[in-house]
Amino acid sequence: MRKNIEAFIFDLDGVITDTAELHYLAWKNMADREGYTFNRAINEKLRGVSRRASLEIILAGLKISEEKILTLMEEKNTEYKELLETLTSKDILDGVMELLNELKKRGIKVALASASKNAVPILKKLEIFDLFDAIGDGNCVERAKPAPDVFIHAAGQLQIAVSRCLVVEDAEAGVLGAIDCGMSSVGIGPHERVGAADFVFETPGDINLYEVLGN
Ligand code: BG6
Ligand code: MG
């Protein structure tokens, strides 16, 4: 168990809501237009990975110009943002509202640390933006996860020491970032992916605060 935790820092995609399918659809349309191979197995590798790094994974070593990289990222993001229009509070994953409310009740701060540049509009569409005491997203830092920068940014905004922060993550890169900066971590998903975390639960709804915090 982890005593003295003063803040929970949540990843967004795969923890609070599941936008992986929307990312998949937008990347898939781009890949089909361009004749690149892309499927759900490749999409799994994009979990927690920045937009540019995602495109590099899809390109699989294929060299294209910087101008084309920017165009393809822009096209994908335009379509992704259209798909995000369908999001509502119903898309919050099971158990997340209960967890956020319980943390609030305990006086534990709540922050976001997402690789996404669309994190703020997503939180607003989900109608939970106001519950967050601090936001770290893809616009706040240069280096994406596994660099710990976005977590440090969130802790800095909260003015809480990293040793008193706990990260909730579904991506290996995110868990590694949390470990790198000395934060505790809860991994969501299979052990093969997030087994390096201090605690592992299958879904966000399975997070057992008694096991994690000891009370
Ligand atoms: C992460 C997703 O949250 O955000 C990745 O898990 C995504 O799949 C990344 O590539 C960047 O998102 P965006 O919205 O800035 O393209
Ligand atoms: Mg994630």
Ligand 1 pocket, 43 CB below 6 A?
Answer: no
122 with 201, same domain: the answer is: yes
Choose the final residue of a domain: 55, 84, 113: 84
> Catalytic residue at 13?
yes
151 with 199, same domain: the answer is: yes
The helix (run of H) or strand (run of E) holding residue 41 is helix 40-44
Could you tell me the distance, in angstroms and rounded to a whole number, from the CA of residue 159 to the centre of ligand 1? 26
Ligand nearest to C-alpha 119: 1
The range of the structural domain enclosing residue 75 comes to: 20-84
Cis geometry, peptide bond prior to residue 146 (ω within 30 degrees of 0):
yes
146 with 111, same domain: the answer is: yes
Ligand 1 pocket, 23 CB below 6 A?
Answer: yes
Provide the mean pLDDT of the chain: 96
Could you tell me the distance, in angstroms and rounded to a whole number, from the CA of residue 165 to the centre of ligand 1? 23
120 with 201, same domain: the answer is: yes
Backbone CA torsion sign across 116, 121, 127, 130? positive
pTM: 0.94
* Of 183 and 214, the one with more pLDDT: 183
> Catalytic residue at 94?
no
Percentage, residues of the chain above pLDDT 70: 100
Residue at 49 is within a domain: yes
User: Phi and psi at residue 185, in whole multiples of 5°?
Assistant: -145, 145
124 with 204, same domain: the answer is: yes
Ligand nearest to C-alpha 116: 1
Report the C-alpha gap between 38 and 55 in whole angstroms. 11
Residue at 12 is within a domain: yes
What confidence score (pLDDT) does residue 3 get? 77
CATH of the domain at 125: 3.40.50.1000
Residue at 66 is within a domain: yes
Give, for ligand 1, the residue of 18, 49, 84, 120 to mutate: max count of ligand atoms closer than 8 Å to Cβ. Answer: 49
Band the pLDDT of 47: cuts 50, 70, 90.
Answer: confident
Ligand nearest to C-alpha 44: 1
- Using CA atoms, how far residue 147 sits from 31, 118, 142, 154, in Å, is 28, 19, 9, 13
Residue at 133 is within a domain: yes
Choose the final residue of a domain: 62, 84, 106: 84
What confidence score (pLDDT) does residue 140 get? 93
Residue at 35 is within a domain: yes
61 with 158, same domain: the answer is: no
Ligand 1 pocket, 48 CB below 6 A?
Answer: yes
Atom of ligand 1 nearest to the CA of 13: 3
What confidence score (pLDDT) does residue 20 get? 86
Ligand 1 pocket, 212 CB below 6 A?
Answer: no
Band the pLDDT of 2: cuts 50, 70, 90.
Answer: confident
Residue at 152 is within a domain: yes
User: Phi and psi at residue 37, in whole multiples of 5°?
Assistant: -75, 130
Q: Under a CB-based contact definition with an 8 Å cutoff, are residues 50 and 144 in contact?
A: yes
Q: In sequence order, which residues have a C-beta less than 8 Å from that of residue 204 and are 6 or more positions away?
A: 15, 16, 93, 94, 95, 96, 99, 168, 188
Choose the final residue of a domain: 59, 84, 109: 84
Q: State yes or no: pLDDT of 1 exceeds 80.
A: no
Percentage, residues of the chain above pLDDT 90: 93
Ligand 1 pocket, 2 CB below 6 A?
Answer: no
133 with 203, same domain: the answer is: yes
CATH of the domain at 39: 1.10.150.240
Q: How many domains does the chain have?
A: 2
79 with 122, same domain: the answer is: no
Distance of CA 174 to the CA centre of its chain: 8
